[in-house]
Amino acid sequence: MSQHWPQFQEEHDMFRKAVRDFAINELKPHAEEWEHERYFPDSVFREMGKLGFLGARYPVELGGSGGDIWYTTCLAEEITHCDLAGLTMAILVQTDMATPIINEIGTKEQKEEFLMPAISGEKIAALGVSEPGAGSDVAGITTSARWDGDDLIINGQKTWITNGTRADFITLAVRTDADNRYGGITLVLFPTDTPGFSVGKKLEKIGNHCSDTAELFFENCRVPKRYILGEEGHGFYYIMQNFQGERLVGAISGTAGAQRVLDRTKEYLQERNAFGRTLAGFQVLRHRIAQHETDLEASRCLAYHAADLYNRGVPCQREISMAKLVAGQSGMRVIDDCLQMHGGMGYVEEGPVARAWRDARLLQIGGGTNEIMKEIIVKAIGFGR
């Protein structure tokens, strides 16, 4: 698909092939095992770090490759060949959700202690924003941080945290001013070996089983001032800024994952016989395939358009929100019909289509729900109040 987009150069294609080969040869053979175990080894981060996959668009001086958003696009699309959306999500949290803000506003010391080992895969990162009472409403977080000398004392709880059980550090949102809804949130780089920190439990989800999603607890956790990320009280605005990259890679990987299922379905329809001909011989099924290809191409083009704006530094919250909204809706619709076209084979657990169907539902919730995306869009177009 990408050959029609001039932004992808030979170097991007080489990177794309390297990621795809790794996903197919090193990850996909373990898909059933890791999904059943509801976990994948931490060594995957280290292996991907050694290959340069975790720092594709981070500066060379930090151990990255100095690439652009199109390298991230290649990673987000090709890692889906592993047939494990949970692993894909865990890796993209490492590369594009928990660490970009460190690169953008972190100090030299913070980058050396946290970002560089995340790029190499030696440290695993998580993003700690959501709480039991504050998911989409980021400004409603209550996990508190009060000053005690030059240290912050953190108390509270986080939930729905990807990589939560295995993270070495958390890019953590805390409230440093109880009376300031938007200006009272601060970002902190939080090492998980800090006394008082604990993992409550690993949450059981409908899908994305091999990705660990956890409840986290903070009880009088002492963090030094040097771990504050950016300016105190600016955390809400940093999070909103960080969400753009998160939502963009979600749209890109979600569309690519749906394309994988559609490609598999086309093969199935050409192989499966019924009533004296292949299923691909039925016009009604061919037309459904044509519609799905069209829907995914539209989703991909919108995501690529948003990526192009993002790469050039053009404000694109509207386009990214649209891309995520469309990717979540189209992807789920396509995969649902692919399951239908597989019949009983699509409904059994040992098949990848059933797993993809479960996994795909998350994109309409995680990183901002469909409803939040629509609110952003109507504000951007100046409609309503």
Strands (E), 76-196: 125-128, 144-148, 151-162, 169-175, 185-191
Helix (H) or strand (E) holding 228: strand 228-229
- Please give the chain's pLDDT, 385 residues, in tens: 555 788 999 999 999 999 999 999 999 999 999 999 999 999 999 999 999 999 999 999 999 999 999 999 999 999 999 999 999 999 999 999 999 999 999 999 999 999 999 999 999 999 999 999 888 889 999 999 999 999 999 999 999 999 999 999 999 999 999 999 999 999 999 999 999 999 998 999 999 999 999 999 999 999 999 999 999 999 999 999 999 999 999 999 999 999 999 999 999 999 999 999 999 999 999 999 999 999 999 999 999 999 999 999 999 999 999 999 999 999 999 999 999 999 999 999 878 899 999 999 999 999 999 999 999 999 999 997 6
Q: How far is CA 369 from the centre of its chain?
A: 14
Instruction: Quote the CA–CA distance of 247 and 100 in Å, as a whole number.
Output: 13
Instruction: Quote the CA–CA distance of 316 and 163 in Å, as a whole number.
Output: 28
CB neighbour list of residue 34: distance below 8 Å, 6 or more residues apart: 40, 84, 87, 210
Instruction: Choose the final residue of a domain: 100, 124, 148.
Output: 124
Same structural domain, 157 and 286: no
Angle at CA of residue 98, ends 354 and 2, nearest 5°: 60
Same structural domain, 158 and 261: no
Q: Name the amino acid, one letter, at 203.
A: L
Same structural domain, 205 and 244: no
Contact 252, 307 (CB under 8 A): yes
Domain presence at residue 332: yes
Domain presence at residue 385: no
User: Parallel, antiparallel, or unpaired for β 151-162 and 185-191?
Assistant: unpaired
Contact 354, 291 (CB under 8 A): no
How many separate domains does the chain show? Answer: 3
Map residue 159 onto helix, strand or coil. Answer: strand
Q: What is the 3-state secondary structure (H, E, C) of 14-69?
A: HHHHHHHHHHHHHHHHHHHHHHHHCCCCCHHHHHHHHCCCCCCCCCHHHCCCCCCH
CATH number of the CATH domain containing 160:
2.40.110.10
* The token pair that represents 136 in the structure block: 């989409």
User: C-alpha distances in angstroms, 188 versus 105, 224, 246?
Assistant: 12, 10, 19
Same structural domain, 243 and 359: yes
Q: Where does residue 273 fall: left (phi above 0), alpha (psi -120 to 50 degrees), or beta otherwise?
A: beta
Domain presence at residue 346: yes
Residues in the chain: 385
Q: Which sign, positive or negative, has the C-alpha torsion 83, 305, 119, 217?
A: negative
The full DSSP string for 263-274 is HHHHHHHHH-EE
Contact 240, 130 (CB under 8 A): no
Same structural domain, 114 and 39: yes
pLDDT of residue 350: 76
Instruction: Quote the CA–CA distance of 130 and 172 in Å, as a whole number.
Output: 10
Global confidence as pTM: 0.95
Same structural domain, 93 and 198: no
246 is catalytic: yes
Q: Which of 220, 177, 205 lies closest to 90, judged by CA?
A: 205
Contact 216, 128 (CB under 8 A): yes
Contact 380, 319 (CB under 8 A): no
Domain presence at residue 372: yes
pLDDT of residue 3: 58
pLDDT of residue 246: 95
Instruction: Choose the final residue of a domain: 108, 124, 140.
Output: 124
Same structural domain, 119 and 131: no
Same structural domain, 272 and 213: no
Instruction: Choose the final residue of a domain: 196, 211, 233.
Output: 233
Domain presence at residue 323: yes
CATH number of the CATH domain containing 339:
1.20.140.10
User: Parallel, antiparallel, or unpaired for β 151-162 and 144-148?
Assistant: antiparallel
Instruction: Quote the CA–CA distance of 81 and 28 in Å, as a whole number.
Output: 7
Instruction: Quote the CA–CA distance of 282 and 278 in Å, as a whole number.
Output: 8
> Of 231, 246, 349, 350, which residue is the catalytic one?
246
Same structural domain, 243 and 350: yes
Q: Could you tell me the residue range of the domain that residue 27 belongs to?
A: 2-124
